[in-house]
């Protein structure tokens, strides 16, 4: 049996951890916990992105997936609704932000996975 003690300020992360423990104990597969970000948080999160994390940005017509390589370089995969796909490499979070701004205009959502 696993017990988790949390403080008032840690409630949301404790709830996510409890859900993850339940899923692992029951053998559930294929469910990802995602966190939503706003544009202001994106660049700072990119700087601290781990190798096993990723960022998904999408609107109604395009999707961008951002990951980091072992060489600390960013990999951007852009998919559009007609099925075309492009891959770009960027060496800094600020260059990634330029690509995001050039690719998306208007409303889009940002998720961490």
Could you tell me the two tokens for 30?
């294929």
| 16 and 42 co-located in one domain | no
Instruction: Return d(Cα 43, Cα 49) in angstroms, integer.
Output: 10
The pLDDT value given to residue 1: 45
C-alpha span between 18 and 43 (Å, rounded): 29
Is residue 49 within 8 Å of 42, Cβ to Cβ?
no
Do 29 and 39 belong together in one domain? no
Q: What's the domain range around 64?
A: 34-112
Cα separation, 35 vs 54, whole angstroms: 11
Number of folded domains that form the chain: 2
Ranking 27-36, 37-46, 61-70, 103-112 by mean pLDDT, the lowest is: 27-36
Percent of all residues in the chain with a pLDDT value above 90, rounded to a whole number: 50
Q: Do 2 and 54 fall within a single domain?
A: no
pLDDT, tens digit (0-9, with 9 covering 90-100), for 66-105: 999 999 999 999 999 888 999 999 999 999 999 999 999 8
């Amino acid at each position: 049996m696993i017990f988790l003690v949390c403080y008032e300020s840690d409630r949301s992360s404790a709830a996510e951890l409890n859900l993850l423990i339940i899923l692992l104990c029951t053998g559930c597969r294929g469910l990802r916990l995602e966190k939503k970000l706003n544009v202001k948080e994106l660049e700072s999160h990119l700087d601290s992105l781990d190798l096993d994390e990723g960022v998904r940005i999408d609107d109604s017509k395009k999707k961008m997936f951002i990951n980091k390589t072992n060489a600390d370089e960013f990999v951007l995969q852009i998919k559009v609704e007609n099925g075309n796909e492009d891959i770009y490499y960027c060496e800094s979070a600020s260059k990634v932000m330029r690509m995001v701004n050039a690719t998306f205009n208007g409303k889009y959502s940002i998720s961490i996975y």
